[in-house]
Structure 1
């Protein structure tokens, strides 16, 4: 999951970034409202965490501009303003959720997962394909009932492919989701990671098929699946 975190409290932003990155998410961090306004309109994010008290432009102005320009990414407003009037104003401006400071980081993470789940039309925190099961809440992967370990980026790519199982996932979407400002991720990187995953997932009865000029499709590899024990 790629997240835009807009928070001008440096200590809080750094702590949140580290917490979210430990869960394998890509986090881009900004502290200025005007910069956030522009980035939210040109970059692709799974969810945005937006403080209201920002320099440059306040969070409410940023949110209204995003929505007026058609930016549809889920937005969680993060603020110390805790009155009913403030919450109603934030939700009416286009926020999808509202979390008041101080808060517990695990609650923030759970809310972000829920926003992403709703945006994808899912009701479960579990993805399944063949013998592979992915627990999105705990960032764990299982082959049958045994843990199956992948690197954070391999896990993120597998998640994207499982979410679109049987449908094409294009390279541009992979680059957009797995890149961050501090860590570039090119189309050549995609090819390297897909090559790795093909080898890792072959024993699971899964195949990653290249659709030339478009991208990749994850699907059941029937012969391999039949050769595995039930």
Structure 2
């Protein structure tokens, strides 16, 4: 699951990214409201963690802007303020939930799960193609021959391919989607993870394959 974190406190942002990645989320982090709007305009996310007090554009304005465009993405508001009026303001602007700093890690994770649950329920929890099944809740890749629990980025790549069967997805797109715009990862890391997935699919005697098309990208295809 991919999240956008908009938090201008650098130490807190870094800590949150670490916590979320350890819990199998992919996170893009930005430090101001305008950057949050730019990222939301350019890409798709499963949820947003949005601080209210941010430079350039405040969190409430960001929220009102995306809601005015019909974007129903789940949003969790963060703030150091505990006053009821601020909570009401955020919820009335379209927030799904509200969390006051300081907060416990387990509460944050629980609230993220809660706010994304409805959206997750609207998508298939299991993806299938050929004799291959990917369980999006457990990260388990399986065929009648056995199963593997995928690492976070392996899962995200295969999920993207399974949701877009027979569609070419470029290495650059995979790098941006899985590792994030600001990642320092090099393009060959995509090939490395594709290689991992191919080995697992082969070991499971899958009847589908990740096909590489020169200078175009990768697609999921049935074996000939």
- Shared fold, TM over 0.5: yes
Cα deviation, residue 167, structure 1: 7.8
Whether 1:216 and 2:215 are equivalent positions in the alignment is no
Contact (CA 8 Å) 1:161, 1:218: kept in 2 or not?
Answer: no
1:37-93 CA-partner distances (Å, limit 9, x unpaired): 333222332221101011222210111122224444322111233344333321221
Unaligned runs of 5+ in 2: none
Whether 1:63 aligns to 2:59 is no
**2:80, 2:100 within 8 Å by CA — same for their partners in 1?**
yes
5 Å-filtered alignment, 1:32-43, equals 32-43=32-43
| Conserved 8 A contact 1:178-1:185 | no
Counterpart position of 2:178: 178
Q: Deviations over 1:6-38 (max 9, x none)?
A: 112222211111111222333222222233233
SS at match of 1:5: strand
Q: Does 1:141 align with 2:140?
A: yes
Equivalent pairs, count: 216
Give 1:225's aligned residue: none
Cα distance, 1:159–1:54 mapped onto 2, change above 3 Å:
same
When normalised by structure 1's length, the TM-score is 0.70
2:48 alignment partner, SS class? strand
CA distances 1:192-215 after superposition (whole Å, capped 9, x unpaired): 533431321233353246597896
Q: Give the 3-state SS of the residue equivalent to 2:121 in structure 1.
A: coil
Report what 2:80 is aligned to: 80
Counterpart of 1:90 in structure 2 is: 90
Query: What does residue 19 of structure 1 align with?
Result: 19
What is the rounded CA distance, in whole Å, between the counterparts of 1:158 and 1:91 in structure 2? 35
Q: Which runs of 5+ in 1 are unaligned?
A: 222-230
Deviation string 1:121-152 (CA, Å, 9 cap, x unpaired) is 3489x64756856473xx653758x8735443
**CA-atom RMSD in angstroms:** 3.7
Shift of the 115–189 alpha-carbon distance from structure 1 to 2, 3 Å rule, reads farther
SS in 2 for 1:50: strand
Larger deviation, residues 192-201 vs 57-66? 192-201
Contact 2:53–2:59 at 8 Å: present in 1 too?
A: yes
Q: Tell me the residue number matched to 2:200.
A: 200
Q: 8 Å contact 1:44–1:176 — kept in the other structure?
A: no
